[in-house]
Amino acid sequence: MSKVIKLKKGLDIKLVGAAEKTVVEMPVSGLYASCPTNYEGCVPKILVKVGDVVKAGSPLYFDKTRPEVMFCSPVSGVVSAVNRGEKRKVLSVVVEADGKQESESFATDLATLSREELVKTLLDSGLWSLFLQRPYGVIPSPQVAPRAIFCSAFDSAPLAADMAFVLEGEKENLQKGVEVLSKLTDGKVYMGLKAGQKSVCEELQGVEKFYFDGPHPAGNVGVQIHHIAPIAAGEVVWTVNVQDLAIIGRLFRTGALDMTRTIAVTGSQFEKPQYVKSVAGASINKVVAAAGGLKAQKEGDSVRLIDGNVLTGTKTTNDDYCSIKCNQLTAIPEGDKYEFLGWAMPRFKKFSASHSYFSWLCPKKQYDLDTNLNGGVRAYVVTGLYEKLLPMDIYPMYLLKAILAQDFDKMIGLGIYEVVEEDLALCEFADPSKTEIQTILRDGINLMIKEM
């Protein structure tokens, strides 16, 4: 435990419905999908037709803006649908699994591969899309080598999967993954671990380890980068989720693409919150059923299903598919109810970062929060609150105002290169003015990509 970085700022939101440490294994059958909408800025060009036979790792579509980056089938089987939405936008490419899990073959002998060949394997197998680049939080360009690669070995978001539990038995895969990363960058591979928690990641060789202690967002890789080696203008670093790292390592260890991952099924509306082991891209319906299903709802009540955690996840439905990178599925009650004089009430059952309610006096209590906005959208009034929730040397409100004013110099100066949506999610949660902070930030980032 050499390098412990203590973070004071941030907030742990304690919710009802943490996953019990039991794993349900889901057999490979039924429908799996890859959804272009899960990748920021991806303009898909579809490569398959309904009825085509594919293997795990066969390309389904590529990104027109970056034709090298393939998005591949997680399973072997037959393409059963290409779902489109408004303006024929591709929503998902669905494959019906045959259960055999045959894989395309890739060049995976790390000892003999050059960096270029390694990059090609990652691009062809679709695993390239598991990397994210900072600045901007988009899939990295294959032409630029990163200054360093960062991986957070834990997730601190509300009800997040316990990565130490999820990664049990993945040590060899992770080690191989780290070797892949070392080959991709001339710089270092960094890993952020949770202080005081045992994890297989502690035993990995070839990574620079930093321990983090503190509330959410201590597990966000962006926060960790800021404290380990912050991004300066003109630099590019990559990040990769730790479960994705194991998947990458698995390909290079076994030679076959195996997109199996463990999803934490969490939230107050699940009958039995627990872990489900499944191939990526499974249908939500099946994962929910495997975990034990949703609680029965009273008339007039409904449930919101979220792919991811309650702060940054994507709204989804039973008929949709898990995203390829999904580590967590959450179900919370919809809050589409009126509340009589709610703003004047003590609201003992609701949680607030503000001390004008009483939740801060009982820090251990778990809450069953719904999706109500709890107020109307206003101009920014309260100050000093946002800074308390972001453990970075950044003024969130000034950054957001610079984005709204489209002032590029200020955006860069105030740190837009260092943050993505998840880092400001807590600010959005706590904002009394109910502004869409994550959306504003993404619009700002997209503007930067367009203009720079």
326-355 residues in contact with another protein (CB under 8 A) are 330, 332, 334-344, 347, 350-355
Name which of 45 and 365 has its Cβ closer to another protein. 365
- Which range binds another protein by CB under 8 A, 16-24, 34-42, 77-85, 375-383? 375-383
Burial class (CB in 10 A: 0-12, 13-18, 19+), 83: middle
Contact pick of 109, 213, 393, 407 for another protein (by CB under 8 A): 393
How far apart CA 39 and CA 281 sit, in angstroms, is: 14
Per-residue binder mask for another protein (CB under 8 A), 123-162, x = binder: -----------------------------------x----
Does the protein bind another protein through residue 245 (CB under 8 A)?
no
Q: What are phi and psi of 107, to 5 degrees?
A: -75, 115
DSSP label at residue 26: P
How far apart CA 185 and CA 176 sit, in angstroms, is: 15
Give the shortest CB-152-to-another protein separation in angstroms: 20
Structure tokens at 125: 């197998």
**How many residues contact another protein, by CB under 8 A?**
76
Considering only residues 214-243, where is the footprint of another protein by CB under 8 A?
A: 229-230, 232-235
Does the protein bind another protein through residue 407 (CB under 8 A)?
no
Contact pick of 153, 201, 430, 445 for another protein (by CB under 8 A): 430
- What Cα–Cα distance (Å) separates residue 259 from each residue in 32, 251, 405? 11, 9, 42
Does the protein bind another protein through residue 357 (CB under 8 A)?
yes
How far apart CA 293 and CA 149 sit, in angstroms, is: 38
Does the protein bind another protein through residue 436 (CB under 8 A)?
yes
- Which range binds another protein by CB under 8 A, 127-135, 167-175, 286-294, 407-415? 407-415
Helix (H) or strand (E) holding 82: strand 77-84
Q: What are phi and psi of 287, to 5 degrees?
A: -65, -45
Contact pick of 36, 146, 214, 313 for another protein (by CB under 8 A): 313
Does the protein bind another protein through residue 397 (CB under 8 A)?
yes
The residue to which tokens 């899939």 are assigned: 139
Exposure class string for 53-70: b at 16+ Cβ within 10 A, else e: ebbbbbbbbbbeebeebb
Name which of 19 and 425 has its Cβ closer to another protein. 425
Does the protein bind another protein through residue 406 (CB under 8 A)?
no
Does the protein bind another protein through residue 408 (CB under 8 A)?
no
Name which of 174 and 437 has its Cβ closer to another protein. 437
Considering only residues 12-41, where is the footprint of another protein by CB under 8 A?
A: 13
Cis peptide bond prior to 217, omega within 30° of 0: yes
